[in-house]
Amino acid sequence: GQQLNQSPQSMFIQEGEDVSMNCTSSSIFNTWLWYKQDPGEGPVLLIALYKAGELTSNGRLTAQFGITRKDSFLNISASIPSDVGIYFCAGLGTGTASKLTFGTGTRLQVTL
Amino acid sequence: NAGVTQTPKFRILKIGQSMTLQCTQDMNHNYMYWYRQDPGMGLKLIYYSVGAGITDKGEVPNGYNVSRSTTEDFPLRLELAAPSQTSVYFCASSYRDRVSGNTIYFGEGSWLTVV
């Protein structure tokens, strides 16, 4: 099946710092989705990307759909304590709409 | 806004018991999904449905069954619970649209422990 490599696996940053994480795939995706999951909660959609090269922002979050359609990046600017959580990328491949593949997550912890 | 609602939130089962996780969505989404998430891992697709009366297997379907008699509901059945099914289960739904693509929304999760 399709593989999604998400990095870094975890990161500690200081409040106010910018954060970058990325996902790479062994195959082409038509859609990239970025989710955040807080402890004890379900994933919440942050940003959806539908076109290669697309750059989309949601507040302090910016995500890009890679030109090759095999990667995506998420940036968080000026991190705050509530940014703590696990961030998942997810890619939707060609063919059946249900084949959404998730990355293994990036655990973000913010130190004051 | 209710969105995707799944019950129960927590459940402990004995090995060999059966149970059904309920899922309902009020967004008139045609696609519905069940995922499981093991500790420290991403989500894996168990079963999905592209519309009422249609279901199909995902990546890890063994030990589970589903049905989709209505657009709103997509219950997940565990027939003979095994310790390997201890996990967090997420129901999700989406509406496939050519313009906006396929954005999937998740329920809050059901924590299942099999002992």
Instruction: Please report the DSSP string for A23-34 in residue order.
Output: EEESS-EEEEEE
Q: What percent of chain A has pLDDT over 90?
A: 60
Residue pair B36/B100 in contact (Cβ under 8 Å)? The answer is no
**pLDDT tens across B19-50, in order?**
999 999 999 988 899 999 988 778 888 999 98
- pLDDT digit string, tens, across residues A47-94: 999 889 999 999 999 999 999 999 999 999 999 999 999 999 998 876
Q: Is it the case that residue B63 has pLDDT exceeding 70?
A: yes
Return all residues near B40 (Cβ < 8 A) that are at least 6 apart: A104, A105
> What is the three-class DSSP state of B38?
coil
Interface test with B, best of A100, A104, A106, A107 (most B CBs within 10 A): A100
Chain B residue numbers touching A43 (CB-CB < 8 A): 43, 90, 106
pLDDT class for B104, splitting at 50, 70, 90? confident
Q: What are A's interface residues with B at a Cβ cutoff of 8 A? A: 1, 4, 6, 30-31, 33, 35, 40-45, 48, 50, 88, 90, 92, 97-100, 102-105
Q: Which of A31, A88, A99 sits opposite B101 (nearest CB)?
A: A31
Higher pLDDT residue, A31 or A112? A31
Residue B31 CA, chain-centre distance (Å), reads 12
| Higher pLDDT, residue B84 or A27 | B84
Residue A102 Cα, gap to closest chain B Cα (Å): 6
More confident residue, A14 or A96: A14
**Chain A partners within 8 Å of B101 (Cβ):** 30-31, 48, 50, 92
Give me the pLDDT at residue B102, please: 63
